[in-house]
Amino acid sequence: MPASDALSFLMAWTLAPLRLGSVTPSSSSLAALITREIGPETGPVLELGPGTGPFTRALLARGVREQDLTLIEADPDFASLLTRRFPAARIFEMDAVGLRHPPLFDSPVVGAAISGLPFRLMSPRKAFAILEGVFDALRPGAALYQYTLGSRCPFDLDRLDLEATRLGRTFRNFPPATVYKVSRIKTYDWRFS
């Protein structure tokens, strides 16, 4: 991680600590963990809160095409930085709550979503709105990959009929982080049994 990224992140955190949720950018260890199930076959990937781009770089290293990336970043300085670093990606300077109105995608085409958003610091209403927008964009079978600095998944899973699988924890991040794969609950349809 470039020292300038760490400084930019720390400065942004001092101005809005509840919006960033961490004092440093995510480590390469966390980036490797959160992107390990994603590759070129995944297709379009939605990234929420990319910050300085550690997960974005990991996605590119895994073979995801830059033009298949849609990055949602609320901080104008980070959005500008991302535009310079990843010119072929679709970058939107906006709050992730706006994913649904108007929708960024015409249909559920996204193969995976990755989130660096601090859901534990959000109101349940805001978190619910963001998750609705994400899962409206995800195609069937696709998942959201979320990290948290806490000990459990940061979502109210029942409200949206979601389930979470813990993918792992890395202590090589400051602070240590846990990654969850969140997907829709597979429902049993008795009509076809």
Q: 9-60, pLDDT tens digit by residue?
A: 455 556 655 555 555 678 899 999 999 999 999 999 999 999 999 999 999 9
How many residues in the chain?
193
Q: What span, in angstroms and rounded, lies between the C-alpha atoms of 108 and 135?
A: 8
pLDDT for the residue 17: 54
Token pair 């991302």: residue: 82
In the 8-state DSSP scheme, what is residue 150?
Answer: S
Q: What span, in angstroms and rounded, lies between the C-alpha atoms of 80 and 93?
A: 9
Q: What span, in angstroms and rounded, lies between the C-alpha atoms of 64 and 90?
A: 13
Structure pTM? 0.86
As a whole number, the mean pLDDT across the chain is 87
pLDDT for the residue 2: 60
Q: Which of 82, 74, 70 is nearest to 18 (CA)?
A: 74
Strands 69-73 and 45-48, how do they pair? parallel
Query: Side chain identity at 155, as an amino acid letter?
Result: F
Q: What span, in angstroms and rounded, lies between the C-alpha atoms of 79 and 85?
A: 10
Query: Side chain identity at 147, as an amino acid letter?
Result: Y
